Every structure is written in structure tokens, then in C-alpha cells.
């Protein structure tokens, strides 16, 4: 695929994002009705970034990807590749390649021929084709399999052929739509690590669509969490996991505990929530937050941040009481399900690093405690 030369460029191309969406809206027409798929996206993806669009089925990930590729035209807004407005440029003239879950390899061609296909079509010289295909097969760890047919290879190997076939054209960006969806769990986890390595080696911008939060956390530099055609949160895996910005993100990424209570007192950059019967939860207040005493709020805390014990904890962090329900021993960790004094279900993960003994058993009264920095206010209680 060739880069468009005729589109206007905005700004200095060295500092421009690889991909930019500005006010992008997509509505489909189906049986006389309008289906809103993307409701106004503003997004900039950096050069060489591994960027994931993550969200549940139907949230608009594939539509967004297809608009970047040029397979769908936005209803409103613009798509830029390296500062060039490509909104009206057809897919084959955009400098991006796409890899699908179904691989779409040519079954009658060898691995070598599959990878060489695009270069041959472009009329690249034979010795150059041999060199570039060889180099690519080495990167995807398939040297020596040149003569095989796709059906003689495993799913993971076929996916790597598809990757090599897309990357050999040296696209500016590679768009991957659930590329590991057809693989079993173990192979998928192996391929996640492989994909990240390959991306680092070739330095190409990857845009990755997935509904699997573990996959997005493992590979991405940044993740856009999408819900109902909008971006709910955009940030590094750590930011999104540690500081979910909404109830949706907290629930979608990993396991998270939702608690609610009434603000008792606001003390500078933190608030103390009165909980249950004289217990407390301390929450840091985000800058500019305007909560006041008496307001009911909702907050989240991750299971691995909570300590569980039978004695009241020392210190002045969050400390609430509960009763232990199910205790699940998982080898490296134990999960405790606890019902708090205010009736909320809380999950606690403890690492079994030093002790083989469970801290508490079903029916025990326990204290749950955590440092103030691990509570995140996510809005008014519903």
C-alpha cells in the first residue's frame, strides 16, 4: 500500500502523531434506522506506540479500526495519518496494513509465497524479496518453514505468517483486530509476549483491538477503554488498572470492589467516609474535586491492596469490618470473600509468600484495611 502524497499535511511531520482521530462519529443505517457505533472520538496515537482499543462487544472498536484503515467512512470528523487528512483516501492508498483473526492466508501458497505476495505485486526485485521475506520470517521465528503450506502449521504459526505478510510491506501502522481470538489460552498468552517483542523489534505503530483486558494490559503502551461508542478512559495499563476513572472501567478491568458511604469530613486533599458502625474509609480527593460533608459517594479498591486480619489495624488508613464467606486457596494466593458491616461484598487477594496458613476461615469476624492511596473516588453513589 502506498502513502498518499496529495493530502494536506498539518504541522511538523516529525512530531505528529502516527494516527489521529478528530471528532469522529460513525452511524450505520440498518433497516431504516440509525445505529450509532462511534459517538465522537478524539484520539492521538504516537509513532511506534502499541495502542489498544479495549471494550465489550459492540462498543465500537472494530468500527474505529475500520475507519483508520479506510474500510469505513466516518459520518463526521476526520482521520489523519502523520498529519495528513486521509478521511477521503481509499484503504489501498493508506499506509496501514490490517491483520485479522482469520489470518486470511492463501492456502495453496507456501509460507514464503504468502509473505512475498505484496512485494511481488509491487514489483520489488527478486533478490530484495528473498532478503526481506527472510528477514521477516526470522523476526517472527519461522526461519526454515518457508516451504510449508498454511494447513501444515499450527494456529500460532499461521498467525505469525499473517503478521510477517503484513509487516514485510513496512507499513507505517499495523492494525490488528482480535488477532489471537482463535487460539487456545496457552498459545494466546505465548503469542502476546511474541507480538510485543516483534512490535519492539520492528518499531511499527500497532493498533490492537481486543475485548480481553488481560491481553491489553500485557502488551499495550496505552489503552483506550471504550464503552458505547465513547472512550471512557485513556492511559497506560498501570494508570487504568490503578486509577480507574469510572465505575465501568473499574468493573471491566480486573476485579474491583465498589463501596459507598457518606463523606464525614473533608480534610485538605482527602476525605474521610464514615462506614458501617464507626469504621472509616479514607479517600484522596482528585484535584479540583468539590465533594462536601454529607454527600454519598462511590469508591473503588483493588482486591490485592486490602489486608485482612482478625485484629483492628494500627494507623489511620481505611479500616472496615466484615465477616468471611468463601475462602478459595489458589496455591500462590488465597481469595477471601467478605461481607462488610454495611452489607457490601468485597474480594481480598492475599499472596501466600511466607505463610501456608489461612489468615481467617469462613464465619470469622475480620478487619479489612488499606492505605488511603488505594481508594479511588469514582463519583456520587447511585
- The reply on whether position 35 binds ligand ATP by CB under 6 A is yes
Quote the cell numbers at residue 1: 500500500
Q: Which stretch binds ligand ATP (CB under 6 A): 53-61, 199-207, 327-335, 346-354?
A: 53-61
- For the chain, strand residue ranges (E) read 19-30, 33-45, 50-54, 76-81, 84-85, 96-100, 173-177, 205-210, 222-227, 230-235, 257-267, 270-275, 279-284, 296-301, 307-309, 318-329, 333-340, 345-351, 365-370, 376-380
- The reply on whether position 59 binds ligand ATP by CB under 6 A is yes
Instruction: Please state, in angstroms and as integers, the Cα–Cα distance from residue 73 to each residue in 23, 87, 330, following that order.
Output: 13, 7, 49
- C-beta separation of 119 from 133 below 8 A: yes
| Rounded Cα distance, 150 and 161, in Å | 8
- For 120-268, strand residue ranges (E) read 173-177, 205-210, 222-227, 230-235, 257-267
Q: Which stretch binds ligand ATP (CB under 6 A): 16-24, 54-62, 187-195, 299-307?
A: 54-62
Rounded to a whole number of angstroms, the minimum distance from the CB of residue 222 to ligand ATP is 18
- The reply on whether position 74 binds ligand ATP by CB under 6 A is no
- CB nearer to ligand ATP: give 172 or 230: 230
- CB nearer to ligand ATP: give 27 or 141: 27
- The reply on whether position 58 binds ligand ATP by CB under 6 A is yes
Which residues make Cβ contacts (< 8 Å) with residue 371, sequence separation at least 6?
A: 305, 317, 318
Rounded to a whole number of angstroms, the minimum distance from the CB of residue 60 to ligand ATP is 4
Q: Which stretch binds ligand ATP (CB under 6 A): 3-11, 30-38, 267-275, 280-288?
A: 30-38
Quote the cell numbers at residue 199: 512490535
β-bridge mates for residue 324, sequence order = 338
Rounded to a whole number of angstroms, the minimum distance from the CB of residue 350 to ligand ATP is 34
Rounded to a whole number of angstroms, the minimum distance from the CB of residue 28 to ligand ATP is 3
Instruction: Please state, in angstroms and as integers, the Cα–Cα distance from residue 368 to each residue in 212, 267, 298, 301, 305, following that order.
Output: 30, 23, 17, 11, 10
Rounded to a whole number of angstroms, the minimum distance from the CB of residue 273 to ligand ATP is 35
Q: Which stretch binds ligand ATP (CB under 6 A): 61-69, 132-140, 304-312, 313-321?
A: 61-69
Rounded to a whole number of angstroms, the minimum distance from the CB of residue 332 to ligand ATP is 31
- C-beta separation of 199 from 50 below 8 A: yes
Contact pattern for ligand ATP over residues 187 through 226, marking x by CB under 6 A = ------------------------x---------------
- C-beta separation of 162 from 187 below 8 A: no
- CB nearer to ligand ATP: give 37 or 68: 37
Rounded to a whole number of angstroms, the minimum distance from the CB of residue 336 to ligand ATP is 33
- CB nearer to ligand ATP: give 63 or 257: 63
Q: Environment class of residue 246 by beta-carbon count within 10 Å: exposed (0-12), middle (13-18) or buried (19+)?
A: middle
| Rounded Cα distance, 273 and 284, in Å | 11
DSSP category for residue 107: T
Rounded to a whole number of angstroms, the minimum distance from the CB of residue 166 to ligand ATP is 19
- CB nearer to ligand ATP: give 32 or 294: 32
Rounded to a whole number of angstroms, the minimum distance from the CB of residue 68 to ligand ATP is 12
Q: Which residues bind ligand ATP (CB under 6 A)?
A: 28, 30, 35, 37, 55, 57-63, 211
Amino acid at each position: 500500500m502506498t502513502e498518499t502524497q496529495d493530502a494536506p499535511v498539518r504541522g511538523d511531520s516529525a512530531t505528529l502523531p502516527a494516527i489521529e482521530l478528530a471528532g469522529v462519529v460513525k452511524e450505520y443505517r440498518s433497516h431504516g434506522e440509525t445505529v450509532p457505533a462511534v459517538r465522537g472520538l478524539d484520539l492521538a496515537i504516537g509513532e511506534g506506540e502499541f495502542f489498544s482499543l479495549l471494550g465489550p462487544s459492540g462498543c465500537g472498536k472494530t468500527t474505529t479500526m475500520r475507519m483508520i484503515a479506510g474500510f469505513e467512512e466516518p459520518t463526521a470528523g476526520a482521520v489523519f495519518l502523520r498529519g495528513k487528512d486521509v478521511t477521503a483516501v481509499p484503504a489501498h492508498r493508506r499506509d496501514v496494513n490490517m491483520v485479522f483473526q482469520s489470518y486470511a492466508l492463501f492456502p495453496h501458497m507456501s509460507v514464503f509465497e504468502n509473505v512475498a505476495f505484496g512485494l511481488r505485486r509491487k514489483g520489488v526485485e527478486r533478490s530484495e524479496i528473498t532478503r526481506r521475506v527472510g528477514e521477516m520470517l526470522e523476526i517472527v521465528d519461522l526461519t526454515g518453514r518457508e516451504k510449508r503450506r498454511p494447513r501444515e502449521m499450527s494456529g500460532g504459526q499461521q498467525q505469525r505468517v499473517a503478521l510477517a505478510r503484513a509487516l514485510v510491506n513496512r507499513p507505517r501502522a499495523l492494525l490488528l483486530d482480535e488477532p489471537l481470538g482463535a487460539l487456545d489460552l496457552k498459545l494466546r498468552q505465548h503469542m502476546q509476549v511474541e507480538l510485543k517483542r516483534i512490535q519492539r523489534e520492528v518499531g511499527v505503530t500497532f493498533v490492537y483491538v481486543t475485548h480481553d483486558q488481560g491481553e491489553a494490559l500485557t502488551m499495550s503502551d496505552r489503552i483506550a477503554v471504550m464503552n458505547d461508542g465513547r472512550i471512557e478512559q485513556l492511559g497506560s495499563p498501570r494508570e487504568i488498572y490503578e486509577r480507574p476513572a469510572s465505575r465501568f472501567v473499574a468493573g471491566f478491568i480486573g476485579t474491583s470492589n465498589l463501596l459507598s458511604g457518606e463523606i464525614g469530613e473533608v480534610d485538605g486533599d482527602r476525605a474521610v467516609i464514615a462506614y458501617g458502625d464507626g469504621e472509616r474509609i479514607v479517600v484522596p480527593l482528585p484535584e479540583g474535586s468539590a465533594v462536601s460533608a454529607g454527600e454519598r459517594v462511590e469508591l473503588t479498591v483493588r482486591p490485592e491492596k486490602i489486608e485482612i486480619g482478625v485484629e483492628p489495624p494500627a494507623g489511620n488508613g481505611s479500616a472496615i469490618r466484615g465477616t468471611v464467606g468463601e475462602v478459595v486457596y489458589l496455591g500462590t494466593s488465597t481469595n477471601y470473600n467478605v461481607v462488610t458491616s454495611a452489607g457490601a461484598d468485597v474480594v481480598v487477594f492475599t499472596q501466600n509468600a511466607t505463610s501456608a496458613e489461612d489468615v481467617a476461615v469462613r464465619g470469622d469476624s475480620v478487619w479489612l484495611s488499606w492505605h488511603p492511596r488505594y481508594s479511588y473516588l469514582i463519583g456520587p453513589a447511585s
